[in-house]
A and B are shown apart, each in its own frame.
Chain A
Amino acid sequence: MSAGRADAAYVLRRLVAAVAGSFAAATLVFLILYWLPGDPAALIAGDDASPQMVANIQARLGTNAPLWHQYVTYIGHLLHGDLGTSFTTNEPVSHRLAGQLGASLQLTFSACLMSILAGVVFGVIAGVNHDRWVDHLIQSVTMFMTSMPPFWFGLLLVMIFSVTLRWLPAIGSGSLRQLILPSLCLSSLLAAQLTNMVRNSVIDVLEEPFVTTLRGKGLLERSVLYRHVLRNALIPAITMFGLLVGELLSSAVVVETVFARQGLGRLMVEALGVKDIPMIMGVTLFASTFLILANLLVDLSYSWIDPRVRAA
């Protein structure tokens, strides 16, 4: 079989798995929200609602049908791209999602870029200076960054850069200046984890025999580092990145709350307040699909960077 066909088969297999994964995730989320409490209608009606009120809401939502029937209906609609209708505003969930998506993706991608930049730069600096003071400093900072609640870091950023220094706006979304603080906040955890990962793999790669060979044949240290060490050190970091980047969109939920930004986070928090279950499901499903897609992309790029993977 030619290499091209093998590649196509691999990509196809991964695509099928990703689509199946998305539907499995939809099933899980459906079961948790519709089956666990017994009845979303009772949840919406509140604790002191009369049975008649609950029955009315049930009829409106269609939750009085058997669970399998509701499930088949839901998945059927999902296949047509219909995420259902909001319980409270009667708007299609997909419209609301589409309206808020831009702001969240903007935040997620800028946080992604910041994390990669910070992770590679600080990771390489720490790895090359293994066990010197720079390394210890970077390690202490990343330890702190991975241990603090990201939303608290956001509040500190606002207090320093908006309230005290008045350099950047604290809230709102739209302009580039309003994007800086939320992105910094969202990227903090991922940047710290990537820094650690890159540092560790730089240290590992520097000990490999081929580095000694390269140095032995008189290659400049700079070229050893950038052309050979960095390229090999980034392979494990990319896997790690794929595992973590999917969580970024869901961390954005909390970060958007801190900075009062438009986005999926606001949608989710509003929906939680009024128990708008189709909306909660819509946001959760979108975040899951994002996670699955991120992992798929990383897996594919990983096999492109490191051909050994395809054989497995």
Chain B
Amino acid sequence: MHITQVAQAGGTQFIGRPLGARRFSIALLRQKLPKVSLPVILAIFVLTVILLCAVIPGAFAPYGPTDMDSDAVLAPPGLHHWLGTDHFGRDILSLLIYGAGQSVVMALGTVAIAVTVGGTIGLITGYVGGLTDFVVMRLVDVWLSVPQMMLAIIIATALRASFTHTILAVGIVLVAPFVRMIRGQVMSVRARPFIAASHAIGTGHATIILRHVLPHCAAPLLVMATIAVAMSILIASALSFIGIGVIEDRPDWGFLLSQGHNYLTVAWWYPTFPGLAITALVISVNALGNALRIRLDPRTVRR
């Protein structure tokens, strides 16, 4: 029986077979891969290009990130500079390619923090329950009662704004939603008979959490991680836009966008292309996330 069929028969949760026999795995993903749609292929293509730019920018960029063409300051898009130049005469395409690394590190870093910290707390609090759960969930409520943008801004400010601190700040902001989601998932899994059966045959708590509960959280965790990647890119670019956590000599996309803001009336290409790059990245991540959600969550099959 297929995982989605089990889940449909069982009702509304992301569930697999008991005892982790056929849990979420690479094999399962591969089995489903041939059915990918056009938007997903496009998204994977865009993400591959951005990742390659992040890893080996030198191979793609026509100019260096600090090469200034004094004859072409704020030059419009043309043969020499495909996406135009900035106020120093730097090639915008090259700046975007060299800035890709920061966006990728930022997105993966924040989500790594949110997934590991939020996931661990959620797993434990959902499994232990009782007073611990009550206290942790009230803390999460408080955490979520401060708007996310504001929270990211004040944490980044308190830590003294820098690139790593921005990652830390956005990561910490995203921890609370992960705790809430994983905890809910764990509580529903914990109530199922196969967990009681595992207890009965003497399986330890750690083994039950890692071998039986965690695999049932893998699918929603993966879907939520893609949403978090998209959110962290947008929050980080907003922080960078209002001038928090920027590195002047290695501008990231949000900072380029805020610089372009100053030349809005004379150089439309300067703010347009960095924004387009951010949008392309986020839209690809969202498209991939949507596809994953549809694959992994039978409730949304229709859409």
Contact = CB atoms under 8 A, between A and B. Distances in A.
Residue of B142, B146, B242, B282 with most partner-chain A CB within 10 A: B146
Contacts of B264: 155, 158-159, 163
A284 B271 contact: no
A281 B157 CA distance: 12
A156 B272 CA distance: 7
B282 A287 contact: no
B153 A268 contact: yes
Contacts of B19: none
B242 A272 contact: yes
Interface in B269-297: 271-272, 275, 278-279, 282-283, 286-287
Contacts of B40: none
Contacts of B158: 32-33, 36-37, 43
Interface string B226-268: 0000100010011001111000000000100100110011001
B11 interface: no
Contacts of A254: 149, 238, 241-242
B281 to A, nearest CB: 9
Contact of A250 (B147, B234, B272): B147
A191 interface: no
Interface residues of A, number: 49
A253 B157 CA distance: 15
B279 A152 contact: yes
Nearest to B302: A203
B56 interface: no
Contacts of A280: 153-154, 157
A35 B243 CA distance: 23
B251 to A, nearest CB: 15
A28 B142 contact: yes
Interface string B144-175: 01111111011101111000000000000000
Contacts of A284: 146-147, 150-151, 153-154
Contact of B141 (A21, A251, A287): A21
B278 A29 contact: no
8 contacts: A21-B145, A37-B160, A43-B158, A152-B271, A163-B268, A251-B149, A280-B154, A284-B146
Interface of A: 21-22, 24-25, 27-29, 32-33, 36-37, 43, 143-144, 146-149, 151-152, 155-156, 158-159, 163, 200, 203, 246-247, 249-251, 253-254, 257-258, 268-269, 272-273, 275, 280-281, 283-284, 287-288, 291-292
